[in-house]
């Protein structure tokens, strides 16, 4: 029930924030702040109250389920495990930060702005919690519209184009996922006779490799575009660079993570066989993304665009890790999701701070700021170092674990991915060098960080350090649910090793084909 | 005709009585409010008498049949007509033409549509169709002092008359082959023959022309943009909803009664029409700068979507059609309602520029319009999403991959022009718009309240679709043609 309350709080809070605009111009900010803070506290409370996840029997900490459209087997089904809990904590923390950084930046339509922020967070929360595929798609779409408005109304000069592109890319891929969800629903229904969108029912659905391949392709379309993986990434630099700071932070910190979460939660357990067939390609795309993103990041002159391309590069590690199918890599992926959310979010915030002072994002017009704004310089240094994977900061743990895991799956790809780390060093140091070192070019006086800005930046620094020095609590929390995602790869392992598969197909050559055929007749 | 039949025909009789009483009232004294009130009353009474007809399948041989499907479509059409009436008051109040006859014509058009959806015989079909068409000729050119309105009326008159002629000829050919005009007897005949005679197929093809015209699907869609643009906004809403819905209701009844789904050639024809409508409608809408034309093309595409569920040809398909019709009707009424609400007495607010920055001038109106457009685009929290989901489900369940893929592709294209309008509404106005003459709030109260109700319905159905699904399933139990 407490899970549903989180959603209610965000949805109602959003409406309240919009309405409260009429009472007082500052009120929406306080409403949004208190709602996100309340959600964060609830999540932290859940974290502290949960029993140690050592008992691997029950990975689900909380479940809540009421029928929604019983005629179609749709239920309002929410569930919380370690993975979702971590994601929720990240969501509300980033949400809180986004509200704070907009305090001075957003001056018009304050009520509607905070409405959109809270509804985007609600959509994301829903995505991380729901265990019903219909509801999942529902929330998946709910987070799009407010994001579209955030970019389209409060964005920079080219906002309309960026908002369009973002919306159409994500919506198109989402519709393909909807097709797959329906396909899965009918295949499962025809096979078992019970039509349900429930995740737990649909787990372990049997289908022929061909059907599995197509169904997985739909899910992959949505998640790989959202992540994004290289051929589908072109919406990201535009959306990130045109969005207001809060929008960029939510995009980089949270929206991309929904893609990664989707891969872990849905693609991997639902389609174990098809995913293994696709794994080499996915790892290739991941490595391609790492290198391509890094090279393009190095070539950018727009600071936000640069950071956006570093996201492409970092998300490559996520794909690489997810398709390595082992516990090491998955721990790395989860760490990467969290630390990337923090570090890239922080970089976008710094870009926003600079934009407020300079009214430009062009790094050619920056330089030598260390002398005038040392506090910001130090904080930027921390996150630039995090982004290049310096040991002691969270990102190092993430990338190290991912690479260790992917080495076991494919040494060749891992070697190339490691080159990406070198490239990361190059582009990260370029940020530092161009903006804070070198010749001082700015003509007007610049303010160093204000107390409000410090309040935003310091917790981020503390968290990224904490994650780098003491990642164990996070890893422990995620472990149970990650094992569950991988379960399909341990038990029927016999099924996938080649000699057994031969015997299986030899013994029952047309078994699965017949099931499906019968199923499709039943539907007609 | 038995005495008992009167009970089942009550909604129709009330509509007839409503039209006559209204006419007499106009003869005594012209009063917009009284006529408006009478029309509302007629609609409400008809809806009220429709309620007890649920759960029966009652034949009124040879022409009519009142079953679940008929009751559902009649109820839907009456509700639509009711909403159109509500929106019309403010719209016509600010225009100088004589307003009262409009309501008589509207009642008659609704009567025709209701006859159409419960007919099981070519004669009744044609009777209903003509009552509808003739009323529409007058309704479309009702603002006869405006050039566009005249043009649209003439265009519709010529094309609709021609399509009726096609249809009549087609019926004649089918009658020549089968010797009957009743749907059920045609079905009996079709079961008795091995191959369908060519003459029958020709006749059927000609009927498809007539049906396609009313539905406004490609390649019979040419009239739609011009008529939508020229007709007064409430009439446009009526054409886009009730008239199309009535024809869809008839089509489903006819094809189900005659077991049309088992003939591949027929399925092929409708598949082609569906694909062509989706693609052409969406592509042509892309570059429109006129909201009414944009919605016209979008409605062509939506009828294409609807045909997917129609082609599924099973229980799920008919449910999906029903659900989608409800969602689409609410959405279309809402969109044209907003257009009507924003129109002044010189012209309709149909240019995209009229909507620039609307959100900052009239937030509530813009929010409602946004919701309607998002529903057309099929975004969650709106009825349009559940409707589209239902369509996809019916398509996937019968494995019509081509159609389903086209639906997905076209949804994406459609998204572009829907959010184009939304983006314009949320854009900053470049200059302060000159203040338009605003009606007395009491006059536009009915329109405003209707819009609010429609928006609430839209969200309600989008979030809790199970009630509507329950109602539809309950009514379809008595639609025996499906079994």
pLDDT single digits (tens) B410-437? 999 998 899 889 988 988 776 665 555 5
Question: What is the pLDDT, as a whole number, of residue A494?
Answer: 39
Q: How far apart are CA B283 and CA B417, in angstroms?
A: 10
Chain pair A-B, CB pairs under 8 angstroms: 76
Mean pLDDT on A196-210: 87
Nearby residues of A189 by Cβ (< 8 Å), 6 or more positions away: A73, A195, A196
State whether A250 and A233 are in the same domain. yes
Question: What is the pLDDT, as a whole number, of residue B83?
Answer: 95
Measured between beta carbons, the chain A residues lying within 8 angstroms of B381 are: 138, 142
State whether A417 and A523 are in the same domain. no
Q: Is residue A56 part of a domain?
A: no
Q: Which residue has the higher pLDDT, A150 or A58?
A: A150
Q: Is residue A215 part of a domain?
A: yes
- Residue among B379, B393, B396 whose CB faces A145 most closely: B379
State whether A312 and A424 are in the same domain. yes
CB contact under 8 A, A175 and B412: yes
Mean pLDDT on B120-142: 94
Question: What is the pLDDT, as a whole number, of residue B439?
Answer: 60
Mean pLDDT on A269-294: 92
State whether A135 and A253 are in the same domain. yes
How many CB atoms are located within 10 Å of the residue B399 CB?
15
Cis peptide before B62, with omega less than 30 degrees from 0? yes
Identify from B320, B364, B380 which residue to disrupt to test chain A contact, counting A C-beta atoms within 10 A and taking the largest count.
B380
Question: What is the pLDDT, as a whole number, of residue A480?
Answer: 83
Question: What is the pLDDT, as a whole number, of residue B480?
Answer: 66
Q: Which residue has the higher pLDDT, B259 or A347?
A: A347
Q: Give one word for A85, left, alpha or beta, with left for phi > 0 and alpha for psi -120 to 50.
A: alpha
Nearby residues of B450 by Cβ (< 8 Å), 6 or more positions away: B83, B86, B87, B337
Measured between beta carbons, the chain B residues lying within 8 angstroms of A163 are: 419, 423
Mean pLDDT on B247-267: 89
Closest of B482, B200, B195, B192 to residue B322, by C-alpha: B482
CB contact under 8 A, A168 and B415: yes
Q: Is residue A342 part of a domain?
A: yes
- Residue among B392, B419, B466 whose CB faces A69 most closely: B466
> What confidence category does residue A135 fall into, taking pLDDT thresholds of 50, 70 and 90?
very high
Instruction: Identify the domain containing residue B406 by its residue range.
Output: 3-482
State whether A201 and A216 are in the same domain. yes
Question: What is the pLDDT, as a whole number, of residue B46?
Answer: 95
Instruction: Assess whether pLDDT exceeds 50 at residue B259.
Output: yes
pTM: 0.89
Using an 8 Å Cβ cutoff, are A51 and B450 in contact? no
Residue B183's alpha-carbon distances to A41, B61, B257, in angstroms, are 66, 12, 6
In chain B, which residue's Cα lies nearest the Cα of A109? B360
Question: What is the pLDDT, as a whole number, of residue A506?
Answer: 36
> What confidence category does residue B441 fall into, taking pLDDT thresholds of 50, 70 and 90?
low
In chain A, which residue's Cα lies nearest the Cα of B426? A153
Measured between beta carbons, the chain B residues lying within 8 angstroms of A162 are: none
Tens digit of each residue's pLDDT (9 = 90 or more) over A21-33: 888 888 999 999 9
Tens digit of each residue's pLDDT (9 = 90 or more) over A463-516: 999 999 999 988 888 888 888 888 877 765 434 433 333 333 333 333 333 333
- Residue among A141, A164, A186 whose CB faces B380 most closely: A141
B417 has a chain A CB within 8 A of its CB:
no
In chain B, which residue's Cα lies nearest the Cα of A144? B379
- State the nearest Cα–Cα gap between B71 and chain A, in angstroms: 22
Question: What is the pLDDT, as a whole number, of residue B440?
Answer: 65
Q: How far apart are CA B407 and CA B412, in angstroms?
A: 9
CB contact under 8 A, B408 and A172: yes
B381 has a chain A CB within 8 A of its CB:
yes
B408 has a chain A CB within 8 A of its CB:
yes
Closest of B303, B295, B296, B338 to residue B324, by C-alpha: B303
Question: What is the pLDDT, as a whole number, of residue B482?
Answer: 61
Measured between beta carbons, the chain A residues lying within 8 angstroms of B398 are: 523-524
State whether A507 and A388 are in the same domain. no
- Residue among A176, A183, A186 whose CB faces B408 most closely: A176
Measured between beta carbons, the chain B residues lying within 8 angstroms of A148 are: 419
Question: What is the pLDDT, as a whole number, of residue A507?
Answer: 36
Q: Is residue A379 part of a domain?
A: yes
Tens digit of each residue's pLDDT (9 = 90 or more) over A294-340: 999 999 999 999 999 999 999 999 999 999 998 889 999 999 999 99
- State the nearest Cα–Cα gap between A142 and chain B, in angstroms: 6
Instruction: Give the rounded percent of residues in chain B with a pLDDT score beyond 70.
Output: 96
Burial readout A353-370 (b: 16 or more C-beta within 10 A, e: otherwise): bbbebbeebebeebbebb
State whether A458 and A508 are in the same domain. no
- DSSP class of A265: I
> What confidence category does residue A58 fall into, taking pLDDT thresholds of 50, 70 and 90?
low
Residues 60-79 of B with CB under 8 A from A: none
What is the residue-averaged pLDDT of chain B?
90
How many CB atoms are located within 10 Å of the residue A33 CB?
17
> What confidence category does residue B263 fall into, taking pLDDT thresholds of 50, 70 and 90?
confident
- Residue among A142, A148, A182 whose CB faces B396 most closely: A182
State whether A503 and A422 are in the same domain. no
- DSSP class of B61: T
Q: How far apart are CA A417 and CA A321, in angstroms?
A: 11
Measured between beta carbons, the chain A residues lying within 8 angstroms of B399 are: 520, 523
CB contact under 8 A, A144 and B396: no
Question: What is the pLDDT, as a whole number, of residue B313?
Answer: 84
Q: Which residue has the higher pLDDT, A190 or B131?
A: B131
Question: What is the pLDDT, as a whole number, of residue A500?
Answer: 36
Question: What is the pLDDT, as a whole number, of residue A504?
Answer: 36
CB contact under 8 A, B397 and A523: yes
State whether A302 and A360 are in the same domain. yes
End-to-end CA distance of chain A: 39
- Residue among A160, A168, A182 whose CB faces B393 most closely: A182
Tens digit of each residue's pLDDT (9 = 90 or more) over A69-110: 888 889 999 998 889 999 999 999 999 999 999 988 888 888
> What confidence category does residue A359 fall into, taking pLDDT thresholds of 50, 70 and 90?
confident
| A63 alpha carbon, distance to own chain's centre | 22
- DSSP class of A491: T
Q: How far apart are CA B220 and CA B236, in angstroms?
A: 17
Number of domains into which chain B is organized: 1
Please say whether the dihedral angle defined by the alpha carbons of residues A104, A106, A107 and A110, taken in this order, is positive or negative.
negative
How many CB atoms are located within 10 Å of the residue A171 CB?
24
Closest of A168, A109, A144 to residue B418, by C-alpha: A168
What is the residue-averaged pLDDT of chain A?
86
Question: What is the pLDDT, as a whole number, of residue B432?
Answer: 62
CB contact under 8 A, B419 and A167: yes
Instruction: Identify the domain containing residue A96 by its residue range.
Output: 2-49+63-493
- Residue among A71, A144, A167 whose CB faces B466 most closely: A71
Number of domains into which chain A is organized: 2
Tens digit of each residue's pLDDT (9 = 90 or more) over B169-220: 999 999 999 999 999 999 999 889 888 889 999 999 999 999 999 999 989 9
Measured between beta carbons, the chain B residues lying within 8 angstroms of A153 are: 426
The stretches of A50-109 forming alpha helices (DSSP H) are: 82-105
Mean pLDDT on A131-145: 92
A contact set with B (CB within 8 A):
68-72, 109, 134, 137-139, 141-142, 144-145, 148-149, 152-153, 160, 163-164, 167-168, 171-172, 175-176, 178-179, 182-183, 185-186, 520, 523-524
State whether A387 and A503 are in the same domain. no
Q: Which residue has the higher pLDDT, B41 or A442?
A: B41
Instruction: Give the rounded percent of residues in chain A with a pLDDT score beyond 90.
Output: 54
Instruction: Assess whether pLDDT exceeds 80 at residue A51.
Output: no
Tens digit of each residue's pLDDT (9 = 90 or more) over B158-175: 999 999 999 999 999 999
Least confident of A249-258, B124-133, B357-366: B357-366
Two structure tokens written together for A451? 């107390």
State whether A6 and A75 are in the same domain. yes
Question: What is the pLDDT, as a whole number, of residue B353?
Answer: 86
State whether A193 and A225 are in the same domain. yes
Residue B426's alpha-carbon distances to A149, B356, B420, in angstroms, are 9, 7, 10
- State the nearest Cα–Cα gap between A143 and chain B, in angstroms: 10
């Amino acid at each position: 029930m407490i899970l549903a309350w989180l959603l209610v709080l965000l949805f109602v809070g959003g409406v309240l924030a919009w309405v409260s605009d009429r009472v007082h111009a500052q009120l929406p900010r306080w409403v949004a702040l208190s709602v996100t803070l309340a959600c964060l506290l609830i999540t932290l409370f859940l974290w502290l109250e949960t029993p140690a996840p050592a008992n691997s029997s029950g990975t689900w900490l909380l479940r809540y389920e009421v029928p929604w459209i019983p005629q179609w087997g749709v239920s309002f089904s929410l569930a919380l495990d370690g993975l979702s809990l971590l994601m929720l904590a990240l969501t509300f923390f980033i949400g809180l930060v986004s509200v704070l950084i907009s305090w001075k930046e957003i001056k018009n339509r304050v009520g509607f702005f905070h409405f959109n922020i809270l509804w985007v967070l609600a959509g994301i929360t829903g995505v991380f919690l729901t265990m019903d595929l219909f509801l999942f798609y529902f929330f998946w779409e709910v987070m799009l519209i407010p994001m579209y408005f955030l970019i389209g109304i409060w964005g920079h000069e080219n906002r309309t184009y960026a908002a369009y592109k973002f919306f159409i890319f994500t919506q198109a891929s989402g519709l393909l996922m909807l097709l797959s969800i329906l396909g899965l629903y009918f295949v499962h229904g025809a096979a078992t006779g019970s039509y349900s969108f429930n995740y737990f029912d649909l787990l372990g659905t049997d289908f022929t490799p061909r059907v599995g391949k197509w169904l997985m392709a739909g899910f992959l379309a949505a998640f790989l575009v959202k992540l994004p993986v290289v051929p589908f990434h072109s919406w990201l630099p535009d959306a990130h660079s045109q969005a207001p700071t809060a929008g960029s932070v939510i995009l980089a910190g949270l929206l991309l993570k929904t893609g990664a979460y989707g891969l872990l939660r849905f693609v991997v357990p639902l389609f174990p066989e098809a995913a293994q067939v696709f794994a080499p390609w996915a790892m290739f795309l991941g490595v391609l993304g790492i290198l391509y993103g890094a090279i393009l990041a190095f070539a950018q002159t727009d600071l936000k665009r640069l950071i956006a391309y570093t996201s492409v590069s970092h998300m490559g590690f996520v794909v690489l890790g997810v398709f390595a199918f082992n516990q090491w890599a998955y721990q790395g992926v989860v760490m990467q999701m969290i630390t990337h959310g923090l570090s890239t979010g922080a970089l976008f915030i710094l870009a926003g701070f600079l934009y407020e002072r300079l009214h430009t994002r062009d790094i050619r017009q920056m330089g030598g700021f260390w002398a005038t704004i040392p506090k910001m310089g130090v904080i930027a240094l921390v996150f630039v170092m995090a982004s290049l994977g310096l040991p002691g900061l969270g990102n190092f743990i993430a990338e190290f674990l991912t690479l260790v895991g992917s080495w076991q799956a494919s040494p060749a790809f891992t070697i190339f991915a490691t080159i990406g780390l070198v490239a990361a060093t190059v582009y990260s140091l370029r940020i530092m060098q161009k903006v804070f070192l070198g010749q001082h070019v700015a003509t007007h006086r610049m303010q160093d960080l204000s107390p409000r800005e410090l309040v935003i930046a310091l917790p981020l620094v503390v968290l990224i350090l904490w994650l780098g020095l003491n990642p164990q609590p996070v890893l422990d929390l995620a472990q149970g649910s990650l094992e569950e995602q991988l379960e399909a790869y341990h038990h029927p392992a016999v099924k996938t090793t080649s000699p057994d598969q031969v015997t299986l197909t030899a013994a029952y050559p047309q078994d699965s084909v017949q099931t499906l055929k019968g199923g499709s007749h039943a539907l007609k | 005709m038995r005495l008992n039949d009167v009970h089942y025909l009550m909604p129709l009789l009330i509509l007839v009585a409503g039209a006559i009483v209204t006419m007499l009232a106009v003869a005594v004294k012209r009063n917009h409010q009284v006529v408006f009130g009478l029309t509302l009353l007629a609609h409400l009474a008809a809806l009220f008498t429709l309620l007890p007809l649920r759960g029966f399948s009652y034949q009124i041989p040879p022409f009519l049949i009142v079953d679940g499907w008929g009751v559902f479509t009649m109820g839907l059409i009456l509700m639509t007509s009711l909403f159109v009436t509500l929106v019309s008051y403010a719209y016509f109040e600010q225009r100088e033409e004589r307003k009262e006859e409009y309501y008589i014509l509207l009642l008659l058009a609704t009567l025709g549509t209701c006859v159409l959806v419960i007919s099981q015989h070519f004669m009744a079909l044609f009777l209903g169709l003509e009552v509808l068409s003739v009323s529409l000729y007058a309704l479309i050119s009702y603002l006869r002092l405006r050039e566009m309105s005249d043009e649209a009326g003439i265009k519709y008159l010529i094309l609709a008359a021609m399509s009726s002629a096609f249809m009549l000829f087609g019926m004649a050919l089918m009658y020549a082959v089968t010797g009957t005009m009743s749907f059920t007897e045609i079905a009996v005949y079709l079961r008795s023959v091995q191959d369908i005679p060519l003459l029958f197929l020709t006749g059927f093809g000609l009927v498809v022309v007539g049906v396609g015209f009313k539905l406004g699907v490609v390649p019979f869609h040419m009239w739609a943009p011009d008529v939508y643009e020229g007709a007064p906004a409430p009439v446009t809403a009526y054409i886009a909803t009730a008239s199309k819905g009535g024809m869809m209701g008839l089509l489903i009844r006819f094809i189900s009664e005659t077991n049309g789904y088992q003939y591949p050639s027929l399925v092929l024809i409708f598949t082609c029409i569906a694909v062509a409508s989706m693609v052409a409608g969406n592509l042509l809408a892309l570059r429109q700068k006129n909201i009414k034309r944009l919605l016209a093309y979008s409605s062509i595409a939506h009828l294409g979507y609807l045909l997917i569920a129609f082609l599924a040809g099973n229980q799920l398909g008919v449910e999906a059609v029903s659900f989608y019709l409800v969602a689409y009707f609410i959405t279309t009424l809402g969109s044209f309602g907003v257009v009507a609400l924003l129109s002044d007495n010189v012209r309709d607010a149909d240019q995209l520029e009229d909507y620039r920055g609307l959100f900052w001038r009239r937030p509530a109106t813009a929010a409602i319009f946004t919701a309607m457009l998002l529903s057309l685009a099929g975004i969650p929290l709106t009825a349009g999403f559940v409707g589209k989901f239902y369509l996809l489900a019916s398509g996937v369940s019968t494995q019509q991959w081509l159609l389903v893929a086209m639906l997905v592709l076209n949804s994406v294209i459609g998204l572009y022009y829907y959010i184009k309008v939304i983006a314009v509404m949320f854009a900053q106005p470049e200059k302060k718009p000159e203040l338009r003459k605003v009606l007395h709030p009491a006059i536009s109260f009915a329109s405003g309240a209707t819009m609010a109700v429609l928006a609430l319905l839209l969200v309600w159905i989008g979030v809790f679709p199970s009630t509507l699904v329950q109602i539809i399933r309950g009514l379809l139990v008595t639609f025996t043609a499906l079994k």
